[in-house]
Structure 1
Amino acid sequence: MGYAILPMIARVVMLGPDQPVTLHLFDNIEQVDEALNGIKMEFIDVAFPLLKACKDINIAIMLGRFPQKEGMERTDMMSKNVSMYMAQASTLGKHAAADCKVTS
């Protein structure tokens, strides 16, 4: 889902033609790091004109959840999701602007 929405954010589709965009890609699943680096390289290669670097996060879009696997209790799945959301909240606490808008 994230891979599909990223180009829309980096283009003018989501925030308009004059809004610089900085993407902070984060996942607390270690195996995803390589994929995130690949996405970063793709976005650098495409050279989206609005993709800039800046310090504070003004809009955070939180995508994803841990899927309930066969034999897993719902409480186990929720526990994994809570730890994931807490890690995301900690990261936002360090890097978000005071007026950051968060959606999921």
Structure 2
Amino acid sequence: MYLSYKSFITEELLDKGRAWVRARGHTGVWAEIWAEVWAEGWVQGYIEEYVENIPAMLDDVRGFSVPDTLREHITDCTDLAQLRRWLRRAATVSAAEDIFTAEDA
């Protein structure tokens, strides 16, 4: 499955990608393309980490049973900001389902 993470790529992140590409001696149009690919990979990696760590926080750390429907909802999310909110909530909620609020629907 290929998802586009372009909406999460900031100019700051693109600048980091450009620096990474330039440090390897690349310039021009291809360098810009590689910078975007680098940034997209960076965002994808963070999303995958959050998708893995939210259920782990709830299950392994907090001791909650994590239903499959909750896992699927987390896995389907590609919004990095939303995943960050859920991970922060996972540290303090009273039940696994409480990581979701009415705003998340």
Larger RCO (CA under 8 A, 6+ residues apart): 1
TM-score by length of 2: 0.29
Higher normalized helix content (fraction of residues): 2
Higher normalized strand content (fraction of residues): 1
Larger C-alpha radius of gyration, 1 or 2? Answer: 2
